[in-house]
Copies of this chain bind each other. A is one copy, B any other.
Amino acid sequence: MSLSQNDPFTDSNYVRIFDTTLRDGEQSPGATMTSNEKLELARALARLGVDIIEAGFPAASPDDLEAVRRIAVEVGNPSDWAQSSRPPMICGLARATRNDIDKAWEAVRAAARPRIHTFLATSEIHMKHKLKMDRAQVLARVADMVSYAVSLCPDVEFSPEDAGRSDPEFLYQVLEQAIKAGATTLNIPDTVGYTTPDEFGALISGILKNTPEIEACCVSVHCHNDLGMATANTLAGLRAGARQAEVTINGIGERAGNTSLEEVVMALRTRPNIYGLSTGIDTPQIARVSKLVSNYSGMVVQPNKAIVGANAFAHEAGIHQDGMLKNFLTYEIMRPEDVGVSRSRLVLGKHSGRHAFRARLTELGYNLNESELDQAFERFKNLADKKKTITDADLEALLADEFYQLHEVYSLVGLQVACGTMGMPTATVRLRGPDGTTQTQAAVGTGPVDAAYKAMDAIIQAPNTLLEFSVHSVTEGIDALGEVTVRIESKETRQTFDAQKEMDQPHTYGGFGADTDIVVASAKAYLSALNKLMIAVNAIETPAEISVAPAPVLS
């Protein structure tokens, strides 16, 4: 069977899922990920079945380019671990300039199916205040730059930025230029989350009706959630004829975020009679990828978040089997299993052996090699000594703490804390540095976490501001594992370039740690963020054997 016979894109009812968690999602304050995290997440997105991964904005910095390039090489080509022989497209964002387009092409060209995504604003307010260009200049630039991108890459996507607030007549002209120049996907962004479903659906219908030669292209929708309507707007666009949805996991993204992948996919799946559209998403992986994004980005998911919130299916808990069945029929429109949420909760305990442990991990979709299994089993036994029952959520937190920490410059050897209402919270920290020597420091703080952080700061001289700190318990019970996520901002001058706003933003780093002692978990999380900061700022190379060692993979 040839590739084209196998190509779902030839099905007129197939919606291409374009995931921009790594680009627009990662651009949200504090969601910055390291190159290794991006690579792991790209692998997870490929397994989830997304069609196109927007992997970053290569012109922002050499590191950003390199991160996209690694994804193009390692995720954008057929491989053993992928579920099918059809790897996802790998896309790089570029402003409508030669330099940006060159950088994007350099980053994505190694992928089997590369894409360049270039954009230029078309609303009066953006043309006047940001671009300082008139309509004729915008039309000419679009024609030039799309042509240039097409001369490099066979698959080019063009976005008229702030389309939701643009004059439709002008939009048709701009899109016509892009099509003539060879763009194959036309993405219509509601950049500021301003439109309503009727309005956005009408915009897409108008574009399909009034833009010459548009039949040969795929129309795409890209919505933001400022008024809480990103999902409804995206679906209205698809009903109007768009066949690509640009989304992020958990709806992360700037301000109120982007459209949630999980909401769009599950709405299409739950309401086939309304939409009659399909996607390539393997929905039982949704919960796990959601958790991965939450850990890597440090962006918590509220309990009442649709599909992936802790309560989304919570009415299952604590009621009798009878009630549950009755309830399933009367109050449930999706089954939790369909998005990878398990109905059963208790799994393992202190007396569970290595065999049961491995079996449960395999059921959960983790596929560890022997040495990883040894490492994980040791952590499990330690936890089981402290905690009566070990649930799936505990196992996932433990594996995240053990394996998602992709590189350690400094590692935590020991921590000792005294605190309470008498004031003077004190922490003593011992760290092992990159040269193998250990250092110990004590510090007093406003609380035990502050004290521990100050002690670590005294060893690792990496000036930063703590932007966010959050802890939650993984499972019920007073002896639960605590998961800590932190975000820090480097005081070094290094900044992240925001392509849309054409402004530098301070670089931030997220860290994650899990332990039954929340002060220990907090120290781990801070150290993991500090390690990322040091790798980025000092360009410390991750040892090769660590950077290529994959995190536990979903089978």
Contact = CB atoms under 8 A, between A and B. Distances in A.
A446 B306 contact: no
B466 A477 contact: yes
Nearest to A454: B478
B263 A327 contact: no
B412 A421 contact: yes
A345 interface: no
A510 interface: no
A518 B448 contact: yes
Contact of A419 (B129, B302, B417): B417
A100 to B, nearest CB: 19
Most B CB atoms within 10 A — which of A315, A334, A477, A518? Answer: A518
Contacts of A425: 517
A424 to B, nearest CB: 10
Contacts of A454: 478
13 contacts: A196-B235, A225-B304, A227-B266, A228-B267, A257-B309, A303-B468, A414-B421, A417-B420, A420-B427, A446-B479, A466-B478, A468-B473, A471-B472
Interface string A321-352: 00100110111111000000000000000000
Interface residues of A, number: 121
A224 to B, nearest CB: 9
Contact of A470 (B29, B412, B473): B473
Interface of A: 28-30, 125-126, 129-130, 162, 191-194, 196-199, 225-233, 235-236, 239, 250-257, 260, 263, 266-267, 270-271, 274, 299-307, 309, 311-315, 317-319, 323, 326-327, 329-334, 386-387, 412-422, 425, 427-428, 445-450, 453-454, 457, 465-473, 476-480, 482, 501, 503, 505-506, 515-520, 522
Given A425-B517, A448-B518, 15 more contacts: A29-B311, A125-B329, A228-B260, A229-B235, A255-B304, A255-B314, A300-B302, A302-B305, A414-B420, A419-B519, A419-B520, A447-B517, A450-B479, A450-B516, A467-B476
A482 B469 contact: yes
A446 B267 CA distance: 42
Contact of A271 (B126, B196, B253, B505): B196
Contact of A232 (B196, B255, B256, B517): B196
A306 B518 CA distance: 30
B472 A469 contact: yes
Which one of A199, A254, A306 has the highest number of Cβ atoms from chain B below 10 Å of its Cβ? A306
Contacts of A251: 304
Given A196-B232, A319-B505, A420 B520 contact: yes
A478 B386 CA distance: 29
- Listed from nearest, the 9 A-B pairs whose CB atoms lie closest are A232-B232, A228-B263, A257-B304, A447-B517, A446-B516, A416-B420, A228-B231, A471-B471, A302-B302
Nearest to A449: B518
B312 A226 contact: yes
Contacts of A448: 417, 419, 448, 517-519
A371 B248 CA distance: 50
Contacts of A257: 304, 309, 311
Contacts of A419: 416-417, 448, 517, 519-520
